[in-house]
A and B are shown apart, each in its own frame.
Chain A
């Protein structure tokens, strides 16, 4: 590992509820026993890593995206903005121009191509970040406002914030949204390694395949963690072996782990089974990063 640059590790999955947050929070806690670690919750639609992190936010900041604001006094109603917006977010309705902010992609085309400068870009709040420090663990939560539908602008800004404010944090973990679409691409972007969480069931396998296809398409280095190992069948394991995909760890199905999770507890401190799996995961990630 290059010690001068932070190592960025994403924890993702195709299927939801396979243990991304369990892995992220316990891995962060385990690493921070030894060294500085930053955990960023990028599951902005449903951020819930904070449940497992002790302490209150010491800093909260609002995050904005730029949207055009109609300046009636300058507008000549030429209609260029409506033509220039591919997302139907700017519409001329009679003698007024309406901006539908939830459709706006902040491309600036309407604003910068307006001959009268009648659509200046103004900040619009899309979410919040919260930051706290707990010993060697830095934690950052990113939460999308409930009126907002687009997760990507917030995720992109969170990455920028991390680069600006946490460049000395040597290990950075990113708890990603589920799925394989645009929010996951944004969340895993510029990370060095992706941990894909799955479970040994037909649903788990189906969604793991989609996630793997996505990671291959992005040329990402990745490995798999099988959570609730023992609850289903061997198909996930067989698939990984036949595709030569590294299995980084197997977290055994254990009612105690599930109960601790349900209560918002970090199980890695007291549960030997989980501790063994998480330490194995960390060693395997380090090995993969050191080997190339």
Chain B
């Protein structure tokens, strides 16, 4: 099974719209993983049935038992995260600040602190309208997006893909360059980049490419809204050439993307000329990944 991760660096370049369009094109042959767990959107286009759901726990959180607490304040002294508050009711853990390091529990002379598992999200396995399965998730408020949930979504999708003999695993990654992106890249075979011809788009693309280059995976790039700033599009072409990244398509700005989204469809289900370009881009990806 070939694992393809879609990334962008900058948000809002059309990463998810392109991933969903590819899911429709590939159909039953692919298993889908929505690893943009911070702002998951693929479910809006692919109609998952949420048939299985699991609570996801990651890390721990401290809790102070006020009946045992002698109010010595030792926990507050050792906490580097400012997570122990003190008021007339005594000492209390601020759940959003606690990182679960366990230091306070270890130094509490009254053994008044216990560590509880922290629920950080819900993971779903769904059947989707393209006749295949998708693994996706929702994160709890302010949860620690350290990449653990991303890793779990990927692992579940991989298991389904292997069990059902899928040839492709398509992963929608998150914007940025941090933990969730690194986690989405782990074990992948190909990175599909979606960018836009803005100075911010190119700046962020360069950063994420540097992170991907630590692995040896092949990369291809789709430039969305390429007609918005033709000279910036040229600059991106040049950058791709220098870094040996395949240019897969220049897509013109097309409001069909938005119109399709409102109808819960993808661009390849419209009459837009972009449909053909996405099909050609997919052809180029297949050519690359079948070379090995």
Which residues from chain A sit less than 8 Å from chain B, CB to CB?
14-18, 21, 45-46, 48, 51, 84, 86-87, 105-109, 112-113, 144, 146, 148-151, 177-185, 199, 201-203, 206-207, 210, 213-214, 217-218, 231-233, 255, 258-259, 261-264
Contacts and interface: CB of A to CB of B under 8 A. Distances in A.
Contact of A46 (B41, B99, B203): B203
B264 A202 contact: yes
Given A15-B41, A202-B41, 19 more contacts: A17-B10, A45-B178, A48-B200, A51-B200, A84-B106, A86-B100, A108-B78, A109-B102, A149-B182, A177-B176, A179-B39, A180-B38, A181-B143, A203-B41, A206-B41, A262-B196, A262-B197, A262-B228, A262-B229
Interface in B158-200: 174-179, 182, 196-200
B251 to A, nearest CB: 15
**Most chain A beta carbons < 10 A, residue from B107, B142, B201:** B142
B174 A46 contact: no
A57 to B, nearest CB: 16
10 closest Cβ contacts across the A-B interface? A17-B12, A16-B11, A181-B145, A107-B101, A179-B38, A45-B176, A262-B229, A262-B198, A109-B103, A17-B11
Contacts of B11: 15-18, 178
Contacts of A107: 80-81, 99, 101, 103
B178 A149 contact: yes
A284 to B, nearest CB: 24
Contact of A149 (B99, B147, B210): B147
Given A108-B103, A180-B142, A46 B261 contact: no
9 contacts: A45-B176, A46-B203, A86-B102, A107-B103, A144-B178, A181-B144, A203-B41, A206-B39, A263-B198
A105 B99 contact: yes
Interface of B is mostly: loop
Interface of B: 9-13, 16, 38-39, 41, 44, 59-60, 78, 80-81, 96, 99-103, 106-107, 139, 141-147, 174-179, 182, 196-201, 203-204, 207, 210-211, 225, 228-229, 232, 255, 258, 261-262, 264
A16 B39 contact: yes
Contact of B258 (A46, A113, A201): A201
Contacts, number: 174
B38 A202 contact: no
B97 to A, nearest CB: 9
Interface of A is mostly: loop
Contacts of B139: 180-181
